[in-house]
Amino acid sequence: MSDHTEKAVSSAEEAAEEAEMIKEAGQSVSRNSKHLIHCLTVIGQIEGHYVLSEQNKTTKYEHIIPALVAIEQDRSVEGLLIILNTVGGDVEAGLAIAELIAGMKTPTVSLVVGGGHSIGVPLAVSAKRSFIVPTASMTIHPVRMNGTVLGVPQTLSYFEKMQDRIVSFITRNSRIPEEELRRLTMNTGELVLDVGTVLEGEKAVELGLIDSLGSLGDAMDSLYGMIENTDKRYAD
C-alpha cells in the first residue's frame, strides 16, 4: 500500500471515529485550528448509577470520565471547552465529573447556554474560567432524592453532608461567598413548588458564581489565551 493510500485510509478512519464520538458522547476535536481543542458537551440530564428512560436526553458519566482521562494525558489536546445545557441529574455523578475537571492541568473553559441547573452549577464552575450567555439561567436549590426515604435522623444528616460538599466545591471554584450561596439555596420566595433561586446570566456573574458574561467567541478567546500563557502540563 502506498503512503498516499495509507494517509487516505488513516484520515477516513479518524473522520469515522470522530463522527462516532459526536454521535455517542457529544464530543468533538477540532483539527484545522490554531490550537487543538476538545469540545465536551453536558446536555439533558446527567445519568449516574441508574439508567434513565430512552425519552430522556442524557449525559452518561461512564462516557465523560474516561474522556477526561484521555484528554488530560493526550499531549496533542491543548485545551478543553465544556458547553453546558443541563437540567441537573445524579448528584454524586455530577460532582465526580466536576472534581475531575477541577483537577485537570489542561486549560479548561466552561460555557453555560440554555441552562446550568442543579448539579450543573458545580460543573459550570469546575473549569478554570467560566462563561454564561445572557439568556441562560442557573437554578440553585437543596439536594433532592427520589424514591423511598427513611424518616430518621441519619437521612437528614446525609442530606446535610451532601449539601455541604456541594457548597464547599462551588465556593472553592468561584467567587460567590458561602453565606450568599446558602441564602440562594434556601430561598422560599421565588419557586412555587420548591426551595431555591433561579439566576439569569448577568445576575450569576454579578454574584460571582460565573466569571464572565459572553458566548462562544469569548470562551474560545479565553481558552486560547490560557493555552498560550500556560506552561506545558507534562515535561518532555
How far is 31 from 77, CA to CA, in rounded Å?
A: 10
How far is 48 from 29, CA to CA, in rounded Å?
A: 25
**Residue of 110, 117, 126, 141 marked catalytic:** 141
For the question of residue 130 being annotated catalytic, the response is no
For the question of residue 168 being annotated catalytic, the response is no
**Local structure of residue 233 (DSSP, 8 states):** S
Which has the closest alpha carbon to 113: 94, 87, 90, 137? Answer: 137
b/e per residue 168-201 (b: at least 16 CB within 10 A): ebbbebbebeeeebbebbebeeeeeeeebbbbeb
- Beta-sheet strands, E only, within 48-107: 58-60, 79-89
How far is 203 from 61, CA to CA, in rounded Å?
A: 29
How far is 106 from 74, CA to CA, in rounded Å?
A: 10
Determine which helix (DSSP H) or strand (DSSP E) holds 139, and give its type and residue range: strand 137-140
Surface-to-core class of residue 99, CB atoms within 10 Å of its CB (0-12 exposed, 13-18 middle, 19+ buried): middle
**Residue of 118, 126, 130, 222 marked catalytic:** 118
Identify any residues that bridge with 55 across adjacent strands, giving them in sequence order: none
Phi/psi at 5 (5° precision): -65, -40
Active site residues: 118, 141
